[in-house]
Amino acid sequence: MAVFSSNLGYPRIGERREWKKTLESFWNGAISETELYDTMKRLRLRHVQKQMKKGIDLIPVGDFSLYDHMLDMAFMFGYIPSRFQHMSRGSLETYFAMARGAKHQSALEMTKWFNTNYHYIVPELENTTPILVENRLLHLYEEAKQELNIDTKPVMLGPITFLLLSKKYDHNDFKTHLSSLIPIYIQVLKELYEAGVSWVQIDEPILVQDIDETIIRFFHDVYDAFHAALPSLHIILQTYYESISHYKEIVSLPVAGIGLDFVHDEGINVSHMRKWGFPDDKVLAAGIIDGRNVWKSSLEAKANFIDHLAHYIDVDRLIIQPSCSLLHVPVTVQHEQSLPPLLKEALAFADEKLDEVYELTQYVKGDRTIDDFRHYDRHYQSFVMSSSRNVQSVQEALANIETYPTKRIDYSKRKHDHKKRWNLPVLPTTTIGSFPQTKEIRQARLKWKKGEWTEEHYQSFIRKEIKNWIHIQEKLDIDVLVHGEFERTDMVEFFGEKLTGIACTTNGWVQSYGSRCVRPPIIFGDVAFNKPMTVDETAYAQTLTHKPVKGMLTGPVTILNWSFVRNDIDRFHVLRQLALAIREEVLALEKNGIGMIQVDEPALREGLPLKRSKRTRYLEAAVEAFRLATCSVQPETQIHTHMCYSQFEDIIEAIDALDADVISIESSRSHGELVHSFEIYRYEREIGLGVYDIHSPRIPTIEEVGENIERALQVLDHHQFWVNPDCGLKTRNAEEAIAALKVMVEAAKIYRQKLVTKTVSQ
C-alpha cells in the first residue's frame, strides 16, 4: 500500500473572509439564494483545488458548511425541531432559522466544540425518526469530481459523537436513537461507494473523552454494521484533540484505518501502541502536524517521530496529516505584512501546514532526507533564541509570585460596602459590555490605522459614540452602565495589541460561530503590562453619568484560551504572566475612580481538559490567575465577571472559588438547565443568568424574558439576581440592541413590582 498525505478539514472562511461576507450579504438581502449558492460553490471548489495543488492525496469534502457541521448533520437527517416544522423541510429558510432563530422561533442552543473556541449548533432530536433528506456528501463528492476531476474523501461526524452531543431526548433511549441512525448512515455510505468513493473519514472525537464500556459496545454495534454492509469501503475512524480512551477495543474495530492525534495526546497514543501494538490490517492516519496552533513544525523532529512510529507500524501503512481539522487556524501567512519578519518566518497557518504534511509524506516515501529539513527548521530556531522570550522583569515577578494577594476580605463583609456605595434597586439591570460595532465604527478604526485620521480625530469619534450610548442607556433606565467598547475590535485582540509579548495579525481570521470570525493574538514571548489600556474611555464615560460605569477587561484565562500560545513553556506559566499584567490594569481603573470592574472569563469552561484526570490542575491554575488579577483591589470595589455556559456543573465550585462579587452567565438558550445547577449547588454571591439570546437577531417578548427571570428566582434569592443579556451586543445592530434592552428593562421592572407587592402582602 502507498503512503498518503491527507487533510481532515480546511478553513471555510476564505483567504479574505469571502465566506463571511457572502453569508452576511444574503442575510441582509443584498444577494439572492442563487447567488449565495453559486459563490459558496466557487469558494468550496477553490479550497479543494488548492489542496490538490499542495500535493494532498486525501482531500476532504463535507468539511465546508454554510454555518456549522453539526447543524448540517441534523438537517441532512431531518432532525427539525417541532417549532420549525411549519417551514419547508430542506429549505435554506429552515436551516438558518434553526441556527439564528426566526421571528417567533428561538434558535437551537450553541455551545463550544470540545475544548476549542469553535461553537456548534446543538441538534434537538425530540421524537424525530431520522430520514435521509439529502445526501449532501454525495453531492459534494460528485461536484469535485465533475468540476475538477478530483476524487475526494467525504467527511462526516460519526453517529455516536453526533448523538452524545445532541439534546432534547431521553438518554435512556440512546440505543433506540442509534438503531434508527445506523441504517441512514449505511444508506449514505452505500450511495458514496456506488458513486466511486474509496475513502471516507468518519469523525468520532467523543473517543478522546472519558467514556464507559456501554458506549464502547455501541461502537462495535455501529462499525460492525458498517463493515457488514460495505466491506470494501475504506473507512477511517478519526479522533483528535487528545489521546483515545479504550485503545485496544477501538483499534480492533472493523475499519480500514484509525486516525490518532500525536500532537495533543501528551505521548499517550504512542505509549498505547508500544504496549498493545497496532493491527496489521489497518492504516494509521497519523496526526503529527499541529492543527490548533500556528507555529512551524520542526520537520527534523517530526521526521524522527515518524521513524519512531516505524517501530510499531510499517511506514507503507501511514497516512500523514494534521492533528485535527485546520478550521482552528487562519488560512495563510502570505497576507501578513505587519508582523516582525522573525516572527512571521516562525509561523505556519493552514496552507503552510499542508506544505509540511506534503514534505513529511515525501520523507516517508524516501524523497526527502533529514538534511533537507534543517534549512526549513532554522527560521523557527532563530525565533526561539530571540530575547523577547525571556524578559528579566517578568521572570522576577514570577519568581516572587507568592507576594501578590490572592484573597480578599470575606464576601459577607464586602457586600455591605457595595450596598452602601451603590444603593442599586432589586434586580439591577446591566449589559455585558459591548454595544453594536457599526459599519461607521469599523471604517473609522480602519482610517485611523491607515493614518488617514489623526489620533485626536479618532479619539473624538470614539468619545462621541460613548456619549451617545451612555445617553441611550440612561434613557432605557439601565442601572449599571458600560462605555460600549467601540475602540475594540475583539475582546482578546484589543489587549493583545497593547501587552508586550503578544502580536496581532492583519488577516489571521478564524471562525468562532456562524459568520463571526476572530483574529486570535499570538503570544510569542514573555507577557508584560506596558501602560493603561482602558482607563481613558472608561473614566470619560463615568464623567457623563451619575450611574456607575463598569470597567471592562478580558481575563487572563480567556486571553490564554483564545490566543495562539507559545509552545516552548508550560501554558500555566504564560497564564501567570497574563494575570499579573491584567492586575496592573485593574488597579489603574480603581485608581481612576472606577468602582465596578468586570474581568470577563467566557473561555474558562472551554479550556477544561477533556480528560477528568487533568481538570483539577487546570481549574486550580485558572482560579489562581483570576484572583491574582483581581484580589489587590479595595473591599468597596465590586469585581464582576462574565462567562459562557456549557455544562456549568463541571466548574461550579471553581466559579465559586473565583470570589467574584457578581457573575453573569450566557444561558438564554439553555436557561432552565443552568438554573437547575443552582438547585443542587448553593451559590451565595450575586449572579446574572442571561435572560435573552443576543446571538439571534429576533427581539424577545416581555413574557419570554419574564419567564427566564421567574425561573431563576425560584432558586436564587432576589437580592442576588441581576438582569442582563447573555452576552455582549457588538454583533447586533443598534435597532435590535435597543429594542431588546427596552424589553429586558421593562420585564425587570415588572418583576420588581411583583416583589414589592409580594412583600407588602406578607
Question: What confidence tens digit (pLDDT) does each residue in 372-399 have?
Answer: 999 899 888 888 888 878 889 999 999 9
Q: What pLDDT does 711 receive?
A: 86
194 is in an annotated binding site: no
% residues pLDDT > 70 (the chain)? 98
20 is in an annotated binding site: yes
Neighbours of 753 (CB within 10 A): 10
Reported as type and span, the H/E element at residue 61 is: strand 60-61
pTM metric for this prediction: 0.93
Q: Are the CB atoms for 330 and 509 separated by under 8 Å?
A: yes
First to last CA, the chain: 81
Position 2 pLDDT exceeds 90: no
Reported as type and span, the H/E element at residue 235 is: strand 234-238
C-alpha cell at 317: 501503512
Strand 662-666 and strand 686-689: pairing? parallel
Reported as type and span, the H/E element at residue 343 is: helix 341-344
Confidence of residue 283 (pLDDT cuts 50, 70, 90): very high
485 is in an annotated binding site: yes
Q: Are the CB atoms for 502 and 563 separated by under 8 Å?
A: yes
Which residues of 317-472 form beta strands (DSSP E)?
Answer: 318-322
In this predicted structure, which of 64-78, 259-273, 654-668 has the lowest mean pLDDT?
654-668
17 is in an annotated binding site: yes
Q: Could you tell me how far CA 392 lies from the centroid of its own chain?
A: 33
State mean pLDDT over 16-29.
97
State mean pLDDT over 504-510.
96
Contact partners, residue 531, CB within 8 Å, separation at least 6: 498
562 is in an annotated binding site: yes
Average pLDDT, the chain: 94
In this predicted structure, which of 47-61, 281-295, 458-472, 677-691 has the lowest mean pLDDT?
677-691
Q: Give CA–CA dist 210/237, Å, rounded.
A: 18
434 is in an annotated binding site: yes
Q: What pLDDT does 760 receive?
A: 59
642 is in an annotated binding site: yes
Position 432 pLDDT exceeds 70: yes
State mean pLDDT over 730-742.
93
Position 162 pLDDT exceeds 60: yes
For the domain bounded by 415-498+533-755, which CATH number is listed?
3.20.20.210
Q: What pLDDT does 669 receive?
A: 54
Contact partners, residue 327, CB within 8 Å, separation at least 6: 9, 10, 11, 12, 63, 118, 510, 511
Position 593 pLDDT exceeds 90: yes
19 is in an annotated binding site: yes
Q: Could you tell me how far CA 396 lies from the centroid of its own chain?
A: 33
Q: What pLDDT does 276 receive?
A: 96
C-alpha cell at 401: 509570585
In this predicted structure, which of 327-336, 513-522, 665-674 has the lowest mean pLDDT?
665-674
324 is in an annotated binding site: no
732 is in an annotated binding site: no
C-alpha cell at 604: 474558562
* Residue given cell 472569563 in the structure block: 601
- Residue ranges, comma separated, of all CATH 3.20.20.210 domains in the chain are 4-67+123-386, 415-498+533-755
Q: Give CA–CA dist 721/700, Å, rounded.
A: 20
Side chain identity at residue 36, one-letter code = L
For the domain bounded by 4-67+123-386, which CATH number is listed?
3.20.20.210
Q: In what order do the strands lie in the sheet with 522-528?
A: 500-503, 522-528, 564-565
State mean pLDDT over 350-362.
98
Residues marked active site are found at 695
Nearest-5° Cα angle at 156, 244 to 186: 105
733 is in an annotated binding site: no
Q: What pLDDT does 670 receive?
A: 59
Reported as type and span, the H/E element at residue 376 is: helix 370-384
